[in-house]
């Protein structure tokens, strides 16, 4: 059976490309060597518990790339938008409950800031006609901000976030939070992360915003667990005539006459297609699935030198009862976050102390993810695959870090496991990065690897490919796939063929005529 495109890897990048192509009438085959789809955005169900792979909080949600992709295939993904946040930087604590921000510091009175009251007063104080006029002015401008700002942001690609922190953020508590928060988003330390990438990401989220929207709607968690996202994409691909095979490894991408011609599977089967899209990592695809010798030396060398982001660990705990109403939290117990990341990145040391973590409780957002009366708590932190230390020691210290945000956590653990960098290495990318290649100086903006390879018909998608694609993790990977699929539909020879077939089906509806059309067009 012929396929308009073969997609290697069913992460969000590969599935996003599959959605874009399927919605445009293309027949795709998605191949995934794992026995599940979604990659690092997935869940497994065990005895009534829906346990995510990793700890995620998603940006854009139904207003961003996930909503875009689902809408193309006539579907919708529901998101829970949380409001119980907790941030602890050593002894300082900030709590937000959807109404008030409470700040406590040692030796000082607690500050209670009625944020929502202040916002309501500001809105009510503003003359209504003025508010409507501002909304009308903002509506067409916001989605274009990223494009308008592009020339200015390109000039800042070589500036690191560390340079900004050094110049403007002197208070240690604020500095450490910014240091950790940017790593949680970009998975690179501040001395590597490009400042312009941070600005592009912020502008991208502003582009998702619509006047009158509650800003909390741009951050959330999918109802049904992370698996709801790839499952929705897959269902749409299947409904549009595509195929998805799991547990199928690709041995090589076939290149004939200087262009992609299909793939050979590990079982020896050959699948032909003149479009191959790889979600298997750009470095790994060039080196292992195609071969460096098929590319010019400069491109192969540049690809080899791409820097991956950090890897990580995830502590996944099933609790015997619901012990906290917390939905999202950060704990930064170390005295200096930058020094902590230098130990990880440069010295490959896992310290003997509680690490900085991001924490979430999926069951507080979707109670159906666990048995009644119980709770799921996840915590993620940075690590490196290559280290002389035993990654298992992280479990003890991660538990201590969670205890700092959720007192009594240790006493209510029914079962917990630790996903280490070795776990993430199973996804096949060098250094087991959380996202892919680093969003660092020299690898963003105009220097970000393109989805279009030098080999005709071969494309790359995921969190590391797509010039002009910025963002955070899952949202960025989905956008990469959608953009690549749209490019193929718009620019490939298949475009006219698809329109001709659709026209014949609409006005004639004859199988024999469709067969003749296929013969005439060579498809």
23 pLDDT band, cuts 50/70/90, is very high
Mean pLDDT rounded to a whole number for the chain: 87
Residue 373 has pLDDT above 80, yes or no: yes
Q: How far apart are alpha carbons 467 and 94 in whole angstroms?
A: 37
Q: Residue 132: its pLDDT value, please? A: 52
Residue 67 has pLDDT above 80, yes or no: yes
Q: How far apart are alpha carbons 484 and 217 in whole angstroms?
A: 27
150 pLDDT band, cuts 50/70/90, is confident
Residue 16 has pLDDT above 90, yes or no: yes
Total-model pTM: 0.88
Check the CA dihedral 500-503-509-513 and report its sign: negative
Q: Residue 137: its pLDDT value, please? A: 52
Q: SS3 sequence, 225-265?
A: CCCHHHHHHHHHHHHCCCEEEECCCEEEEEEECCEEEEEEE
Helix 473-491 and helix 494-507, axial crossing angle in degrees, nearest 10: 80
Domains in the chain with CATH codes: 5-80+223-307+435-492 (3.50.50.60)
How do residues 276-297 score in pLDDT, each as one tens digit? 999 999 999 999 999 999 999 9
**DSSP secondary-structure letter at 336?**
-
Q: Residue 520: its pLDDT value, please? A: 31
């Amino acid at each position: 059976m012929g396929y308009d495109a073969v997609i290697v890897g069913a992460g969000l990048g590969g599935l996003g490309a599959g959605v874009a192509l399927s919605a445009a009438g293309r027949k795709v085959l998605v191949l995934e060597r794992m026995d599940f789809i979604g990659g690092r955005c997935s869940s497994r169900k065990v005895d009534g518990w829906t346990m995510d792979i990793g700890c995620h909080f998603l940006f854009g949600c139904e207003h961003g790339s996930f909503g875009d992709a689902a809408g193309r295939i006539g579907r919708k993904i529901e998101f829970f938008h949380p409001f119980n946040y907790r941030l602890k930087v050593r002894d300082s604590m900030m709590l937000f409950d959807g109404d008030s921000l409470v700040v406590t510091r040692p030796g000082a009175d607690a500050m209670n800031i009625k944020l929502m009251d202040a916002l309501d007063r500001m809105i009510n104080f503003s003359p209504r006609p003025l508010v409507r006029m501002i909304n009308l002015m903002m509506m067409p401008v916001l989605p274009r901000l990223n494009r308008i700002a592009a020339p200015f942001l390109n000039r800042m690609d070589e500036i690191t976030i560390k340079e900004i922190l050094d110049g403007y953020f002197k208070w240690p508590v604020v500095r450490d939070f910014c240091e950790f928060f940017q790593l949680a988003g970009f998975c690179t330390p501040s001395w590597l992360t490009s400042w312009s990438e941070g600005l592009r990401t912020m502008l991208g989220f502003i582009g998702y915003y619509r006047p009158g929207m509650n800003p909390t709607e741009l951050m959330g968690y999918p109802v049904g667990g992370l698996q709801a996202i790839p499952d929705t994409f897959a269902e749409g691909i299947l409904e549009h005539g595509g195929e998805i095979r799991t547990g199928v490894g690709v041995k090589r991408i076939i290149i004939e006459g200087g262009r992609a011609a299909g793939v050979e599977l590990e079982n020896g089967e050959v699948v032909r297609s003149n479009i191959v899209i790889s979600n298997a990592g750009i470095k790994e695809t060039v080196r292992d699935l195609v071969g460096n010798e098929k590319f010019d030396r400069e491109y192969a060398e540049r690809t080899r030198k791409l820097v991956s982001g950090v890897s990580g660990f995830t502590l996944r705990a099933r609790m015997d009862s619901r012990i906290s109403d917390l939905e999202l939290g950060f704990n930064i117990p170390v005295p200096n976050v930058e020094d902590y990341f230098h130990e990880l990145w440069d010295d490959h040391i896992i310290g003997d102390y509680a690490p900085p973590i991001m924490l979430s409780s999926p069951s507080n957002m979707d109670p159906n993810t666990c048995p009644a009366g119980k709770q799921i708590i996840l915590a993620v932190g940075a690590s490196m695959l290559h280290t002389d230390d035993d990654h298992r020691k992280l479990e003890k210290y991660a538990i201590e870090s969670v205890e700092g945000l959720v007192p009594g956590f240790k006493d209510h653990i029914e079962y917990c496991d630790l996903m280490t960098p070795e776990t993430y290495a199973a996804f096949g990318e060098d250094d087991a990065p959380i996202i892919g290649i680093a969003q660092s100086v020299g690898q963003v903006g105009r220097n970000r690897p393109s989805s279009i390879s030098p080999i005709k018909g071969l494309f790359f998608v995921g969190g590391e490919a797509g010039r002009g694609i910025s963002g955070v993790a899952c949202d960025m990977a989905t956008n990469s796939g959608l953009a690549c699929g749209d490019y193929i539909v718009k620019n490939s020879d298949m475009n006219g063929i698809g329109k001709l077939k659709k026209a014949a089906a609409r006005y004639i509806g004859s199988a024999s005529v469709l067969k003749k059309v296929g013969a005439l067009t060579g498809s």
